[in-house]
Structure 1
Amino acid sequence: MESNYHTLKRVDNQLIVITHLSQMLSYITGFGGLLVPLILWLTQKDKIEGMDEHGKSIVNFQLSMIIYAIICVPLIFLIGLGILGLIIIGIISFVFPIINAIKASNGEMPSYPLSIRFIQ
């Protein structure tokens, strides 16, 4: 029975890792980085331990990055500050899902910078 628990726990961590990495779909489709984690979180939050916290963090992070990108667009006309902001957002949006996927595989909670808590 104990081996089944560890197998089940590992599978759960793998789905949480996939949820974090699914944010990378934004670089391919432009919008999948919000939709896929949102769907995974909403369908699995009651079935998988830890998915609710991870899902909330991911959705809050993605919504925050979208808002920051929208703010950067008019700032492009102010000495190119918006371009710098978009580059920084792009780097943060690429690096932190990978970092948090690694944390999730180790059973740790995620931490996303500059994340506005829309969903508590």
Structure 2
Amino acid sequence: MQDLQTPPSAEARQWAMLCHFAAFFGLVFPFGNLLGPLVVWQIKRDLDPFVDAQGKEAVNFQISVTLAGLACVPLMLILIGFPLLALVTVGALVLTIIAGIKANEGQAYRYPFCWRPIL
């Protein structure tokens, strides 16, 4: 476990940021928002405890976003799903950018409204 007094190295901060920003693979590949952070976290989690913690947080958030998006699909039949999906998308975009910036600053970020199945 990393000492709480010692800030993470520049390399650890960069990989933690990439764990969050890898979610933008979802703009290119189906479920890339989930697979991108998962792959980066799995490859670099042993580098530093900070990378491990932020990688878990990024994957957990993307699991939550994916489930929320899938829940919006049947709600589209009664039209409420369209604005809900837009809200989920914009919220995920904004929170992912904030998380990446905070991780690059060396601050551990915890997403709000996040189910955390991976501890």
TM-score by length of 1: 0.85
- Structure 1 unaligned blocks of 5 or more: 1-7
Q: Counterpart of 2:107 in structure 1: which amino acid?
A: E
Instruction: State the shift of 1:98 in Å.
Output: 0.7
Give the aligned residue type for 1:44. K
Structure 2 counterpart of 1:116, which letter?
W
Using the TM superposition, give the Cα deviation of residue 93 of structure 1 relative to its aligned residue in structure 2, in angstroms.
Answer: 1.6
Question: 2:15, 2:44 within 8 Å by CA — same for their partners in 1?
Answer: no
Percent identity over the alignment? Answer: 31
1:95 aligned partner, one-letter code:
V
2:109 maps to which residue? Answer: 110
Structure 2 CA distance for aligned equivalents of residues 112 and 33 of structure 1: 15
**Aligned residue for 2:23?**
23
1:119 and 1:74 map into 2 onto residues whose CA distance is: 27
| Counterpart in the other structure of 2:4 | none
Deviations 1:28-63 (A, max 9, x none): 223222112111111211222301111111111111
Listed as ranges, the gaps of 5+ residues in structure 2 are: 1-7
Who is 2:90 aligned against? 91
Between the aligned partners of 2:48 and 2:107, the Cα distance in structure 1 is 15
C-alpha distance in 2, partners of 1:23/1:76?
A: 24
Q: Secondary structure at the match of 1:112?
A: coil
